[in-house]
Amino acid sequence: MIDAQQIRHYAALSLERLWPRLETILHDEVSAAPADWRAFETRLRREWDRLFDLLFGLYGSHYDFFYHLEELLTATARSWLTRASWLKQLDERRSATPEWFQSQQMVGGMCYVDLFAGTIQGLRERLPLFKKLGLTYLHLMPLFESPEGNSDGGYAISSYRRINSELGTVADLSELAREFQEQGISLVLDFVFNHTSDEHEWARSAQAGDSEYQQFYFLFPDRTIPDRYEQTLREIFPTVRRGSFTWREDIQRWVWTTFNSFQWDLNYANPAVFRAMAEEMLFIANLGVEFLRLDAVAFIWKREGTSCENQPEAHQIIQAFHSLARIAAPALLFKSEAIVHPDDVMSYIGPHECQVSYNPLLMALLWESLATTEVKLLDHSMGHRFRLPAGTAWVNYLRSHDDIGWTFDDNDARWEWIDPVGHRSFLNQFYMGRFPGSFARGVPFQENPDTGDARVSGTLASLAGLEQAIQSGDEQQADLAVRRILMLYSIVLSIGGIPLIYLGDEVGTLNDYTYSTDPDKANDSRWIHRPQVNWTWHRQVEEDISTPHGQIFAELTRLIALRKQQPAIFDGEAEFVETGNGHLLGYVRHGGGQRLFVVASFSSQPQKMNADLLREYGTGYHFIDLITGQAFNTEHALQLEPYQCLWLEQETTTTIS
Ligand code: GLC
Ligand code: GLC
């Protein structure tokens, strides 16, 4: 066993040997930019012990470790030296205010470039809408080259250096990043690093028999090893293909494909894979990306006899990427996409791993509370799972381009006398509109015939009841649906972290059933919530508050603007408190000299909250609801309308008569 002190000794020795070699290899670039080189050296030396330790732990036993290390550092240095000067300035600004992304000013949006705007140029034309909404973060879903037809919505990448030519060029993308940065909008792109498409040049070389590239993936001549692994693997897309391996006739091999058969898992046990992907990551960073969304983080390391999810090495790999980013692209932040058990989600979050993470637990439990009208599981789970390490933040969302899976901890459920298995099945039935009285219009995603597991697809508005209400011409139901949507948004906008809007939801877009006629989409129900935007309609809605869609847009925009004025939402803590009413979720936020008490009702009936509790949490007698401007005092119980959410602030201007 090598101890920490010895590793540090190895690290120092390695750097002593490597540094002069780097200076020689990069001689011309270094003499052209001595100040940049010094900055690089400072950061490299700062990170070195950590980086070396991680890489040595992962790959130290490989005969060619030192070769890979040198190549990696050379590539990292080159990437820094070619980083655009506007990005280097951004690096400095961000390093000076590392907490910038925890600000209440932050509001995210996400979209597919093709479906939302056609092209990169089209996206530029949407800037006025992004400004109107107050977005400061824009996630463009994968726009890199990918196979024709089914490419899992772009999540099968054939080249990390070229974008889909119908959308524009890499230069257009980089230009957009700069323009949007000037407008205060940070670009977010995916780093789809668990797999490439089977058309990526590495996969093509592997198919052509190149053994070096065959070792980039997991290829097996027969079922012996796949069968052993499959005893403990979860199936991710069981309705598309059973198991996690795909037989390739052309090379007579089984290929590890966790997701679709054309998405080949990369073998990170091979240092060449780590190095190759690190170079792709730095290339993407230098396009002007500020947040890299680490796709499918849970799956990147395989170990026989385990689920091959959330393995310790997955964390080491991400931390090593992180460390390289600190050195060569300091402004870059990592966002984890781990849609797994809440404990595992948490394990990716930290100042040296992913600074931000999707919050699938809050997302799933908001829907859970909406179905049950009760907040007990939400309140209990958030009470001990919302807090994050310093310097990190949640990305809180209601919908994304993916399905909803009922992620919550089984013991949290049992604590509240809820049977987890039965409850998940109820939630599926409810959101698929199969439960009596359900307002939702979702559809099943990946129902597994063996385990009974399923997830749900559908847009925010269709899941919240708007589709059913409009179809049956029921205005009262439509009103309730709008209230549900706005109440959910009022929570993600006030709870802390970065609220993320799946664009289309800002106008209450309904399910689009036409995907089922497209053979490339028909067996993936997630396309029901990925429609092409109709801009004539969208523009009308933006101006017309007589429709539910227009009401959602107008009110959401107003809520966002309101959020931005509340210092209490900056970073910090949400303290979940007992409201004395099972339908009401309550939390207190304080900071920046402000104290906010938020209370949200998940009931379609009027509800009350005891005035004494209000006095306790609000620490005062007179309050103003920032959303409606309505005044409250603690002489009477707090009255909430159906699905109302109040942002209560103590009234400071009250004069006692
Ligand atoms: C992520 C994406 C999802 C995709 C999967 C495989 O989970 O969000 O859309 O299917 O990764 O890349
Ligand atoms: C699985 C993965 C998640 C992905 C989803 C796609 O649940 O854990 O990462 O988003 O599949 O549907």
What pLDDT was estimated at residue 2? 82
What pLDDT was estimated at residue 654? 45
**Number of Cβ atoms within 10 Å of the Cβ of 244:** 24
Nearest atom (ligand 2) to Cα of 455:
12
**Residues whose CB is less than 8 angstroms from the CB of residue 39 and which lie 6 or more positions away in sequence, other chains included:** none
User: Is 256 within 8 Å of 218 (Cβ atoms)?
Assistant: yes
What pLDDT was estimated at residue 653? 55
The Cα angle at residue 400 between residues 399 and 402, in degrees rounded to 5: 115
- The 3-state secondary structure of 404-463 reads ECCCCCHHHHHHCCCCHHHHHHHHHHHHCCCCCCCCCCCEEECCCCCCCCCEEECCHHHH
User: Is 197 within 8 Å of 149 (Cβ atoms)?
Assistant: no
User: Is 393 within 8 Å of 98 (Cβ atoms)?
Assistant: no
Give residue-wise pLDDT tens across range 339-379: 999 999 999 999 999 999 999 999 999 999 999 999 999 99
Ligand 1 environment, Cβ below 6 A: 152-153, 155, 192, 259, 295-296, 337, 401-402
Cα separation of 616 and 650, whole Å?
Answer: 12
The Cα angle at residue 13 between residues 11 and 18, in degrees rounded to 5: 90
Residue 95 clears pLDDT 70, i.e. is over it:
yes
Name which residue sits closest to atom 11 of ligand 2, judged by CA. Answer: 236
Cα separation of 178 and 87, whole Å?
Answer: 9
Name which residue sits closest to atom 8 of ligand 2, judged by CA. Answer: 339
What pLDDT was estimated at residue 459? 98
Distance 287 CA to ligand 1 centre (A): 22
Identify the bridge partners of residue 632 per DSSP, sorted by sequence position.
Answer: 623
Residue 94 clears pLDDT 60, i.e. is over it:
yes
What pLDDT was estimated at residue 138? 98
C-alpha distances out from residue 419 to 409, 434, 450, 647, Å:
11, 20, 20, 33
Region 181-190 average pLDDT = 98
Cα separation of 17 and 440, whole Å?
Answer: 63
**Number of Cβ atoms within 10 Å of the Cβ of 387:** 11
C-alpha distances out from residue 207 to 201, 231, 264, Å:
9, 27, 12
Name which residue sits closest to atom 1 of ligand 2, judged by CA. Answer: 236
Angle between helices 475-494 and 360-372 (to 10 degrees): 150
User: Is 594 within 8 Å of 570 (Cβ atoms)?
Assistant: no
In terms of phi and psi (left: phi > 0; alpha: psi -120 to 50; beta: otherwise), the region of 496 is left
Q: For a pocket test of ligand 1, which of 295, 523, 525 has the largest count of ligand atoms closer than 8 A to its C-beta?
A: 295
Cα separation of 363 and 643, whole Å?
Answer: 17
What pLDDT was estimated at residue 657? 41
- The 3-state secondary structure of 326-349 reads HHHCCCCEEEECCCCCHHHHHHCE
Cα separation of 14 and 52, whole Å?
Answer: 9
Q: What percent of the chain has pLDDT over 90?
A: 93
C-alpha distances out from residue 223 to 206, 216, 253, 263, 409, Å:
19, 19, 9, 19, 34
Give residue-wise pLDDT tens across range 108-129: 999 999 999 999 999 999 999 9
Mean residue pLDDT across the chain? 96
Which of 580, 368, 363 is CA-nearest to residue 491?
A: 363
What pLDDT was estimated at residue 325? 98
User: Is 14 within 8 Å of 69 (Cβ atoms)?
Assistant: yes
Token digits for 145? 């080259």
Residue 225 clears pLDDT 60, i.e. is over it:
yes
Cα separation of 525 and 458, whole Å?
Answer: 8
Q: Which residue has the tokens 């399910």?
A: 511
Q: What percent of the chain has pLDDT over 70?
A: 99
Name which residue sits closest to atom 12 of ligand 1, judged by CA. Answer: 155
The torsion angles phi and psi of 285, rounded to 5 degrees, stand at -60, -40
Token digits for 478? 């439509």
Token digits for 509? 């877009």
Cα separation of 201 and 131, whole Å?
Answer: 39
Region 5-29 average pLDDT = 96
- Identify the three-state secondary structure at position 553: helix
Give residue-wise pLDDT tens across range 255-269: 999 999 999 999 999
What pLDDT was estimated at residue 242? 86
Residue 573 clears pLDDT 90, i.e. is over it:
no
Start-to-end CA span in the chain (Å): 76
Buried b vs exposed e over 512-548: b needs ≥16 C-beta within 10 Å? beebeeeeebeebbbbbbbbebeeeebeebbeeeebb
**Number of Cβ atoms within 10 Å of the Cβ of 653:** 6
Q: For a pocket test of ligand 2, which of 236, 239, 340, 348 has the largest count of ligand atoms closer than 8 A to its C-beta?
A: 236
Nearest atom (ligand 2) to Cα of 405:
7
Ligand number nearest to the C-alpha of 293? 1
Give residue-wise pLDDT tens across range 472-488: 999 999 999 999 999 99
**Number of Cβ atoms within 10 Å of the Cβ of 240:** 15
Buried b vs exposed e over 579-606: b needs ≥16 C-beta within 10 Å? bebbbbbbbbbbbeeebbbbbbbbbbee
Distance 337 CA to ligand 1 centre (A): 9
Give residue-wise pLDDT tens across range 476-522: 999 999 999 999 999 999 999 999 999 999 999 999 999 999 999 99
Residue 324 clears pLDDT 70, i.e. is over it:
yes
What pLDDT was estimated at residue 655? 46
Ligand 2 environment, Cβ below 6 A: 236, 296, 337, 339-340, 402-403, 405
Q: For a pocket test of ligand 1, which of 152, 340, 524 has the largest count of ligand atoms closer than 8 A to its C-beta?
A: 152
Which of 502, 499, 506, 517 is CA-nearest to residue 553?
A: 506
Residue 317 clears pLDDT 70, i.e. is over it:
yes
List active site positions. 295, 337
